[in-house]
Amino acid sequence: MNILLLGSGGREHALAWKITQSKHCSLLFIAPGNAGTLQYGKNININVNDFETIKKISIENNIEMIVVGPEEPLVKGIYDFFINDEETKHIKLIAPSANGAQLEGSKAFSKKFMQRNNIPTAAYAEFTKENFEEGKSYIKQHSLPVVLKADGLAAGKGVVIATTTEDALIAFEEMLIHQQFGEASSKVVIEEFLDGIELSVFVITNGKDYKIIGHAKDYKRIGVGDTGLNTGGMGCVSPLPFLTDAFMQKIETKIIQPTIQGLQKENIIYNGFIFFGLIKVGAEPFVIEYNCRMGDPETEVVIPRLNIDLTELFLSIYNNTLNDIVIEFDERACATIVAVSKGYPGVYEKGKVIEFDNSTIRQFDSSIIFHAGTKTNEHNDVVTNGGRVLAVTSFGRNIANAVQLSKEVLSSIHFEGMYFRNDIGYEFKSQN
Ligand code: AMP
Ligand code: GLY
């Protein structure tokens, strides 16, 4: 079967690496891909939101399955586009419908969905320009800190945690009246602050059956000790020592099962991943957000830990055999560290040559270098092409050991201005 994978990050490199290990994959095409995905198939330089061109390429290359990495094409309805076209409706999309993608595409939609389905989440209210004054009163009587969220996709920047009422009122006005995030902040969700440890759990579903494929903790801030600006993610670890079987059971019965039942009850078509962004408050799990895709860099630890045929798992969604698949995990600790360009998550330069000391790197046989923002230039050098450049994943005896191995690999890689956090997994240093 020929497969098309959409996206260009570390997530897509990890997916390409795994998909091509399958007997079910003949040829892989990656659009647009990066310098790393080149070794698994053909990169095609097209935009992931250009559905007409994706259709043309799919027909030309006899594509039978499309795996969608990023959220934007999902929220824009790529699933519906393909299923409603006679020429492409046979293609198996690993994707939710546009309706299902609203779980990520609209905070207000996902909050209402959780409320209808009794899924634990922070108490909230939603406001638009029309009830702006009411929103201000709501903020004034709200406990602190208070969380404000732009309703739509805002590239991970649409959340403000205000510690004073004044800051909250300013942020509220910025979002609703000054349209700080454009259309995405024409509606704002105001919610209670939950204090606890964050983790993410990943599920694949056909909207009826599901399998848990892993979990991870992401380090979102740019600076050591979780300081500074938010990024797309600077590193991840998995499995988490505090995620006991009993706690996982709670997540499954209180969150995952009601979510899948909710999709079914509400006739929401969903043939893809659900990323549950959770927070553990005391001994209880709450949903902070849903994403309708895999995380990045979470994928770079979740996928390597899977001792299964990923393409077969994808096929099982459409063959109605998801329940027959047994998910086996590599029980070793896994960590990934993201190397970023100087200036990220602010302004950064591209085009820096990346040097790999391959004779040293080859000795690290439990490490994998996933490319993110990279491309090859006209001299065939690998150069930086984004903020997050590489994600180095390693397996180890424990989290500290896995992190150490990734740091050693990173010391054999160089590009001008390269930066990575050297404290990924710091909370788990003393744990086995
Ligand atoms: P989101 O875009 O909804 O994932 O929010 C981004 C980040 O804001 C999350 O990863 C949390 O760290 C934080 N956050 C969001 N909602 C809450 C909440 N209700 N309580 C505490 N922190 C939150
Ligand atoms: N690493 C967070 C995300 O993919 O949304």
Which two tokens mark 296? 């990045």
Identify the residues whose C-beta falls under 6 Å from ligand 2.
218, 232-233, 291, 295-296, 298
HSE of 167, CA atoms in CB hemisphere, 13 A: 11
Tell how far the Cα of 27 is from the centroid of ligand 2, in angstroms: 28
- Given a cut of 60, whether residue 125 has pLDDT beyond it is yes
CB atoms within 10 A of CB 332: 16
Mean pLDDT, all residues of the chain: 95
Question: Which tens digit of pLDDT belongs to each residue from 272-293?
Answer: 999 999 999 999 999 999 999 9
What is each CA distance from 281 to 20, 189, 288, in whole angstroms?
Answer: 39, 21, 11
Identify the residues whose C-beta falls under 6 Å from ligand 1.
122, 147, 149, 159, 161, 191, 193-194, 198, 277, 288-289
Q: So where are the chain's domains?
A: 2-96, 123-192, 197-324, 333-428
Residues 6+ apart with CB under 8 A from 399: 237, 241, 333, 335, 425, 428, 429, 431
**Cis? peptide before 32, omega within 30° of 0:** yes
Identify the CATH class of 333-428: alpha beta
- Residue with the smallest CA separation from ligand 2 atom 2 is 295
Q: Tell me which of 161, 274, 298 to substitute to probe ligand 1's pocket, judged by most ligand atoms within 8 Å of the beta carbon.
A: 161
Model confidence, pTM: 0.95
Per-residue model confidence (pLDDT) at position 156: 67
Q: How confident is the model at residue 187 (pLDDT cuts 50, 70, 90)?
A: confident
Question: Which tens digit of pLDDT belongs to each residue from 12-31?
Answer: 999 999 999 999 999 999 99
Which residue in 34, 38, 15 sits closest to 383, CA to CA? 34
Strand bridging mode 146-150 / 159-162: antiparallel
Strand bridging mode 159-162 / 187-192: unpaired
Domain 2-96 fold: Rossmann fold (3.40.50)
Q: Tell me which of 68, 71, 153, 218 to substitute to probe ligand 2's pocket, judged by most ligand atoms within 8 Å of the beta carbon.
A: 218
Q: Which residues of 200-235 are buried (b: 16+ CB within 10 A; e: fewer)?
A: bbbbbbbbebbbbbbbbbbbebbeeeeeeeebbbbb
Question: Which tens digit of pLDDT belongs to each residue from 374-422?
Answer: 999 999 999 999 999 999 999 999 999 999 999 999 999 999 999 999 9
Find where tokens 């309708």 sit: 292
Average pLDDT, integer, range 98-121: 95
Q: Tell me which of 151, 201, 289, 291 to substitute to probe ligand 1's pocket, judged by most ligand atoms within 8 Å of the beta carbon.
A: 289
Which two tokens mark 341? 């360009």
Q: How confident is the model at residue 86 (pLDDT cuts 50, 70, 90)?
A: very high
The strand ranges marked E within 16-123 are 28-32, 42-43, 63-68, 92-96
Residue range 197-324, CATH number:
3.30.470.20
* Domain 2-96 shares a fold with domain 197-324: no
Q: Which residues of 32-70 are buried (b: 16+ CB within 10 A; e: fewer)?
A: bbbbbbbebbebbeeebeebeebbebbeeeebbbbbbbb
CB atoms within 10 A of CB 257: 14
Distance, in Å, from the CA atom of 169 to the CA atom of 70, rounded to the nearest integer, reads 32
Element holding 2 (H helix, E strand):
strand 2-7
Which residue in 158, 113, 296, 318 sits closest to 220, CA to CA? 296
Question: Which tens digit of pLDDT belongs to each residue from 324-379?
Answer: 999 999 999 999 999 999 999 999 999 999 999 999 999 999 999 999 999 999 99
Domain 123-192 fold: Dna Ligase; domain 1 (3.30.1490)
- Residue with the smallest CA separation from ligand 2 atom 3 is 295
